[in-house]
Structure 1
């Protein structure tokens, strides 16, 4: 029988602040953009001085990476401020269509972004900037000996999932369907960080979350990869919102996210290239 450690690809946890450190180091030198990037996607391409406060609504799984990029953006552009609202993509999308003031929306799935674009609350077409894959988060040391998605169906194992209306929950259900598995969790959570928190607090034995969240948690959880996750990879689109108060500043932040520097930070966090 294959042991959990044999099934799992071990990764070193991302140290606290590593994303920010990597981005600050990169900012010391100029880096070339991929040929696929438009000129407007290069950070600092605009000659006009940027100013104002922008509000970015972003999927909870982007919290560490976007926070690092927000700090870098403010250092590059004195007089600007980047505020974030992180949460479940469906909740954020509903807030945008309900009139909540925001400049940028980054969702964890095209479906939730479509809620915003269908309501004509975005300017231009959203662009996929990263992808993310699921992983099982267990208690440190994996005392439940979880080595596969099927193991989550063991009697007595307390498992947490994201709600099916949230991208991580929809992806988890897709993975379960791919494995022809049925799972009744002890709770459904409204965003991926809440699901992960249940394991960190030892209120659950395992949760199906994103690989990026497992990495961000460091030694607080252990990660178990499973092949069914390849059937449920999520694309993350980002868009400028129609009622952006400072559209040029918002465009510049989106350009940073899509730049080589942004891709580096997101890649170190465990995100996949689009």
Structure 2
């Protein structure tokens, strides 16, 4: 017996700006409501007209497109807001929910300030999909976007999040995932980590373990595709990064890096190899 899908509500959307979530991989992951808005809106603002054009072709929709990325000048946003006063304007990113590490923040803020109605058409979001399947605590989580590319900035970002009592959620690229995992392993060797990759696609996978074990796996098996990187919250007894550095500096006053790392490892339970690497960094400062 085949179950019939509910019919798409008829009617043209009211004037305003519609934030429309699109698939993150599997093209079936678009809502009936999103399709109706895309079919009937007067204009679609999108991150990349080529990417959105492929989606619209798949859906059999013809629409007027306007490119809107982070480099768009203010006058482009002003024109879109003017259009939204008299008709429905849709905002799309290349995949998933707009504004979540994608362009759109300035447009939404300015539209609201101008008194234009802003409506969310919810749907796929990689961060939420990753949380749903990772098996890490999901009652509290912090989405922190992409980690910095450079090692020093990446470490500083992670250090700033060390004491957040929630699962940390990042977006990451395949070429950078191993370095990010090694940075996490150095700071939080005992925390549970998950790598959710190729979400909603044919080769979707979610691996969990310590950051070091996952780094070793992906160093041996370079991944492809978009990645959601999740880090479990700190244990109650986990020493903050600043405290670990203070302990290492104190130990380095009377001992070399190897002995200092051993002393701090015994006191904190943190892996000696990770502490030794950090001791060498502190010694060189």
Same fold, TM-score > 0.5, yes or no? no
| TM-score, reference length from structure 1 | 0.31
Q: Which has the higher contact order (CA 8 A, sep 6+)?
A: 1
| TM-score, reference length from structure 2 | 0.30
